[in-house]
Amino acid sequence: MNAPVGHYQYDQIDRNFLQSRIEEFESQVQRRIDGTLTEDEFKPLRLMNGLYLQLHAYMLRIAIPYGILDSRQMRKLSDIAHRYDRDYGHFTTRQNIQFNWIRLEDTPAILRELADVDMHAIQTSGNCIRNVTSDEFAGAAADELVDPRVHAEILRQWSTLHPEFTFLPRKFKIAISGSPNDRVAARFHDIGILARPGVDGTVFRIFVGGGMGRTPIIGQEIFDAVPEDRLLATLEAIVRVYNAHGRRDNIYKARIKILVQAIGIEAYREAVEAELALMNPDHYRLTPETVAAIRARFAVPELVAPDNASEVLAQQRIADREFDLWVRSNTHEHRASGHIIAVVSMKPAGGIPGDATSVQMKRLADLADVHSFGELRITHLQNVVLGHVRQDRLHDLWLSLREVGLASANVGLIGDIVACPGLDYCALANSRSIPIAQKLGARFGNADLQAEIGALSINISGCINACGHHHAGNIGLLGVDKRGEEFFQITLGGRADQGAAIGSILGPALPEDDTVDAIARIVDCYLGKRTAGETFLDTLSRLGDVPFKDAAYEAV
């Protein structure tokens, strides 16, 4: 087959490795079933292969490196959902997909099917470097300085099964972007990387020690401009210092953010520089030849559009108001003329954020073939992107999306709610996150209302692990357990972009329905007090949270 547009094409070495890994896991599963392995012995082995035991069944989390899939991979996921699960899958906030109803005995067969399309479930669990995430508009956005996918792939190859980093103190997450508009939450990652052009090629600004969870911390810049040839050495040294000095005695203090806080960013930088001085630079040098060889395994889309493509789109927007509303919220400017980036919202009003049925997955694959060179991207906001759509065909795409219930015009708006699986599925949860997301989605479902409210993100986590990134939501909700009842703590002012901020707790936690009402009053308060052109965050920063607090708790 030809190299896929958007992601690296496996070679025979990659495929042989996956086959032997599956054989190994198949024998481990067999030994678990016959009792040779106890659950305590088996658990770390299954987790290294993405298999969790959740509330109702086994859950298989499948890696989507830097969030990019081709249509045959999406079709395979659809097929797995249909044949091995309950006909749906769930896109996660780490650009992966998980299936919630998997049978242990089916898992080796599923992994074989995935390997047929160059996919696996490695690096989706355990205290290793997890699947690397990247900008969902990579290689397409007009505002991009450097396409980060080639380097994301290099990081994938460097980190996968890295022998030294397989048993880190805790899990380790890396995100990379090449745009000044941070769409990857770089400052909320263990390592966040922002690529930009330098005088002699690409350079990388690196943040360390960011994270969410129980102790949310914004990452700090450790290096401003690491040259390409030193990228892997630098990352290796950063992770080595963490591996050597990160705490292993207390799971809540084991992430790199705690170490960076404990010793300070200067001392951390010095430790990394000392480590670099001991390393053989030749061994870690990322040569232009290596970069070129990886780049060659990505196909480049031929972006040809008729001269009047933009005009056609403009006419269609005038003729169809509903379509125009969708274009406003669900598209992004493309670097190539006559093209546009389309974001398919997986957040229908009242639906489950990030869920897709097998039929929807298959349809998305078909639409990717027709409209975007067979390429799809999963976003950390749980949506799906078609990166290279011709402007004169955007209306056709929208009509097709409507047929399968995927044309919600709410990307970046209040209905674009991010929620973790919560207590309905997750064994660690304190409260459910999906029902309140559904209630909020339904409450603000009207597209005109959402457009009027403007940019406003809601993020919901079912426990302090913060998989729903509530700390970074403009409005964040954290589920807490109060004497066996589900309550929600509201935070305001979080954001994950270049102005990264952690939301502040507004007041006492409220029961679910009261929380929905409180958010409605917060939004009303904003609408009443905003000045022309102000977003929710603008008004909040101008007025502080007192008026919003008064509004939220007025009826309680």
Partner 1 sequence: MKRPTRLSAGEKLVLTANRLLDGQIVWRDAFGQWLPQIRHAETYDAESAELALENAKHNAQRDGVVGVYEVAVQDGSAIEPVSVRERIRAHGPTVHPQFATEA
Among 466, 472, 509, 522, binds ligand SF4 (CB under 6 A): 466
Number of Cβ within a 10 Å radius of residue 534: 16
Q: How far apart are CA 155 and CA 238, in angstroms?
A: 14
How far apart CA 546 and CA 506 sit, in angstroms, is 9
| Residue 429 interacting with partner 1 (CB under 8 A) | yes
Which tokens in the block code for residue 337?
């003329």
d(CA 79, CA 359): 9
Indicate whether 486 belongs to the interface with partner 1 (CB under 8 A).
yes
**Shortest Cβ distance from residue 56 to ligand SF4 (Å)?**
13
Closer of 92 and 331 to partner 1 (Cβ) = 92
Tell me the closest approach of the beta carbon of residue 442 to partner 1, in angstroms.
13
Which amino acid, one-letter code, is at 291? V
CB under 5 to 8 A by kind: which of partner 1, ligand SF4, none does 57 bind?
partner 1
47 binds partner 1 (CB under 8 A): no
Choosing from 67, 178, 421, 445, the residue that interacts with ligand SF4 (CB under 6 A) is 421
In 431-531, alpha helices (H)? 434-443, 447-453, 512-529
Q: Is 216 in the site for ligand SF4 (CB under 6 A)?
A: no
Residue 463 interface partner, choices partner 1, ligand SF4, none, CB cut-off 5-8 Å depending on type: ligand SF4
Residue 541: exposed, middle, or buried by beta-carbon count in 10 A (0-12, 13-18, 19+)? middle
Considering the complex, what minimum distance in angstroms separates the CB of residue 379 from ligand SF4? 17
Q: Which is nearer to partner 1, 55 or 359 (CB)?
A: 55
Query: Going by DSSP bridges, is the β-strand pair 88-91/355-357 parallel, antiparallel, or unpaired?
Result: antiparallel
* Cα distance between residue 437 and residue 420, in whole Å: 10
Tokens (6 digits) for 120: 């696996």
As to burial, measured by CB atoms within 10 angstroms (0-12 exposed, 13-18 middle, 19+ buried), residue 224 is exposed
Give the Cα separation of 145 and 150 in Å (integer): 14
Cβ pair 259, 219 in contact under 8 A: no
Residues 6+ apart with CB under 8 A from 520: 443
Residues with Cβ within 8 Å of residue 102, at least 6 apart in sequence: 51, 57, 58, 59, 60, 84, 85, 110
Site size for ligand SF4 (CB under 6 A): 13
Residue 428 interface partner, choices partner 1, ligand SF4, none, CB cut-off 5-8 Å depending on type? ligand SF4
CB of 416 to partner 1, least distance (A): 18
Query: In which residue are the tokens 């002012």 written?
Result: 493
Asked if 432 touches partner 1 (CB under 8 A), the answer is yes
Annotate each residue in 237-266 with x if it binds ligand SF4 (CB under 6 A) or - if it does not, as one string.
------------------------------
Place of tokens 């209040």: 414
Coil/strand/helix, residue 135? coil
> Shortest gap between Cβ of 29 and partner 1 (angstroms)?
10
By CB under 8 A, which span of 248-256, 418-426, 453-461, 540-548 interacts with partner 1? 418-426
Which position among 11, 15, 27, 103 is part of the footprint of partner 1 (CB under 8 A)? 103
Binding window for ligand SF4 (CB under 6 A); candidates: 110-118, 275-283, 423-431, 496-504: 423-431
Does position 461 interact with ligand SF4 (CB under 6 A)? The reply is yes
Residues 210 and 188: their CA atoms lie apart, in Å, by 4
Q: Is 117 exposed, middle or buried (0-12, 13-18, 19+ CB in 10 A)?
A: middle
Are 181 and 497 in contact, with CB atoms under 8 Å apart?
Answer: yes
Contact stretch for ligand SF4 (CB under 6 A) within 19-27, 108-116, 464-472, 510-518 = 464-472
Cα(434)–Cα(418) distance, integer angstroms: 9
Q: Which of partner 1, ligand SF4, none does residue 35 bind to, with CB < 5 to 8 Å depending on kind?
A: partner 1
Strands 418-419 and 458-461: parallel
233 binds partner 1 (CB under 8 A): no
Q: Which does 184 bind (CB under 5 to 8 A by kind): ligand SF4, partner 1, none?
A: none
Residues 141/335, Cβ–Cβ less than 8 Å: yes
**Segment interacting with partner 1, rule: CB under 8 A, options 122-130, 426-434, 492-500, 533-541:** 426-434
Question: Least distance in Å: CB of 252 to ligand SF4?
Answer: 13
Token pair of 410 as six digits:
């709410």
**Site map 51..80 versus partner 1, x via CB under 8 A:** --xxxxxx----------------------
Binds ligand SF4 by CB under 6 A, chosen from 422, 445, 476, 503: 422
Q: How far is the CB of 466 from partner 1 (least distance, A)?
A: 19
- C-alpha angle with apex 401: 398 to 402, nearest 5 degrees? 90
Q: Does 424 bind partner 1 (CB under 8 A)?
A: yes
Q: Which of 148, 462, 493, 503 binds ligand SF4 (CB under 6 A)?
A: 462
* Residue 494 binds ligand SF4 (CB under 6 A): no
Provide the binding-site residues for partner 1, judged by CB under 8 A.
32-33, 35, 38-39, 53-58, 86, 101-105, 352, 423-425, 429, 431-432, 434-435, 438, 481, 484-486
